[in-house]
């Protein structure tokens, strides 16, 4: 499905400019982490230094938010893995009443703006008188992570087809043995990809979190506070690089795990 004609020059330039527009801003973060200027965002940096990495390492207010973010991301993506896979398994099995409603319900938490999910949960906590805790954050994160796992798993289930499962049954395996020895190995890389994307999404999430965290601080919330009231600007840059890497690597890994199919991970954030 390609045009044979050479692309018009204007189109090529437009496409390249578009890609550059998407990538250049992020590179700037890396430069600013080395600047000697810590009171403004002066460009070009007056000098370069690596001391901010050590300063960031020794700042004690960074570690607790980092631990909280890692814990929340781990629990949320774990829960999303179980719920998303179950949902995909059911949807792949049969057409049943209310199927379209359920697929809509799964997508809704990321289709609607985060502020609605956040404000809804906040309202629910107010109505039910639930105090803020790690679990109120997890509640929100797991909800919007389900769809990420679901999208990855449902595509793989579709490819797996019914014949493999029937063959397994014909050979005398029960449902649990089929799950353990046939479904799981086939699903493995798709689940790993989905789990990593969910982890990245949760680790980085800030909008829903601001509504469900109360006084707690995750790493993105810590960063948000530094953005509003900057203290040592290059330290924020160092943290930004850490957050960027912690989301970038899982995404890249997820891509390589699932590429080469129509189901390449990440198509539907």
Residues 90-119 that bind other proteins (CB under 8 A): 90-91, 93-94, 96, 102, 105-106, 108-109, 111-117, 119
Q: What does each C-alpha distance from 216 to 67, 128, 208 come to in angstroms?
A: 12, 20, 13
In DSSP terms, 35 is beta-bridged to 48
Contact by Cβ (8 Å): 256, 55: no
In angstroms, what is the minimal distance from the CB of 262 to other proteins? 11
The whole-angstrom distance between residue 253's C-alpha and the CA centroid of its chain comes to 13
Task: Report the residue number, 60 or 229, with the smaller CB distance to other proteins.
Answer: 229
Is residue 206 part of the contact set for other proteins (CB under 8 A)? yes
Task: Report the residue number, 54 or 171, with the smaller CB distance to other proteins.
Answer: 171
In angstroms, what is the minimal distance from the CB of 59 to other proteins? 17
Cβ burial of 193 (10 Å; 0-12, 13-18, 19+) is buried
In angstroms, what is the minimal distance from the CB of 29 to other proteins? 5
Is residue 89 part of the contact set for other proteins (CB under 8 A)? yes
Contact by Cβ (8 Å): 78, 140: no
Contact by Cβ (8 Å): 79, 196: no
Q: Which stretch binds other proteins (CB under 8 A): 56-64, 65-73, 182-190, 236-244?
A: 236-244
Binding residues for other proteins restricted to 40-79, rule: CB under 8 A: 40-44
Among 69, 77, 143, 217, which residue sits at the site for other proteins (rule: CB under 8 A)? 143
Binding residues for other proteins restricted to 146-175, rule: CB under 8 A: 146, 169, 172, 174-175
Rounding to the nearest 10 degrees, give the CA dihedral for residues 228, 231, 232, 238: -40
In angstroms, what is the minimal distance from the CB of 51 to other proteins? 19
In angstroms, what is the minimal distance from the CB of 158 to other proteins? 16
Residues 6+ apart with CB under 8 A from 29: 237, 240, 241, 244
Q: CA nearest 186: which of 161, 165, 158, 156?
A: 156
Is residue 11 part of the contact set for other proteins (CB under 8 A)? yes
Q: CA nearest 52: which of 234, 245, 187?
A: 234
Task: Report the residue number, 15 or 48, with the smaller CB distance to other proteins.
Answer: 15
Among 66, 137, 139, 213, which residue sits at the site for other proteins (rule: CB under 8 A)? 139
Is residue 23 part of the contact set for other proteins (CB under 8 A)? yes
Q: Which stretch binds other proteins (CB under 8 A): 47-55, 63-71, 153-161, 258-266?
A: 258-266
């Amino acid at each position: 499905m390609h045009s044979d004609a050479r692309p018009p020059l204007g189109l090529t330039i437009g496409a390249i400019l578009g890609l550059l527009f998407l990538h250049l801003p992020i590179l700037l973060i890396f430069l600013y982490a080395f600047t000697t200027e810590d009171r403004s965002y002066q460009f070009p940096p007056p000098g370069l230094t690596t001391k901010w990495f050590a300063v960031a390492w020794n700042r004690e207010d960074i570690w607790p938010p980092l631990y909280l973010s890692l814990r929340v991301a781990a629990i949320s993506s774990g829960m999303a893995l179980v719920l998303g896979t179950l949902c995909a398994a059911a949807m792949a099995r049969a057409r049943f009443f209310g199927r379209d409603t359920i697929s809509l319900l799964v997508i809704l938490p990321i289709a609607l703006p985060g502020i609605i999910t956040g404000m809804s949960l906040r309202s629910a906590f107010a109505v039910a008188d639930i105090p803020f805790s790690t679990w109120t954050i997890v509640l929100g994160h797991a909800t919007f992570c389900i769809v990420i796992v679901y999208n990855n798993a449902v595509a793989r289930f579709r490819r797996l087809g019914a014949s493999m499962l029937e063959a397994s049954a014909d050979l005398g395996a029960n449902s649990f043995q089929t799950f353990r020895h046939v479904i799981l190995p086939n699903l493995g890389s798709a689940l790993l990809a989905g789990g990593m994307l969910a982890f990245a999404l949760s680790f980085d999430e800030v909008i829903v979190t601001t509504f469900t965290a109360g006084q707690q601080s995750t790493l993105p919330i810590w960063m948000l506070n530094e953005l509003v009231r900057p203290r040592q600007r290059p330290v924020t840059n160092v943290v930004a690089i850490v957050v960027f890497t912690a989301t970038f690597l899982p995404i890249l890994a997820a891509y390589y795990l699932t590429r080469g199919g129509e189901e390449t991970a990440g198509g539907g954030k």
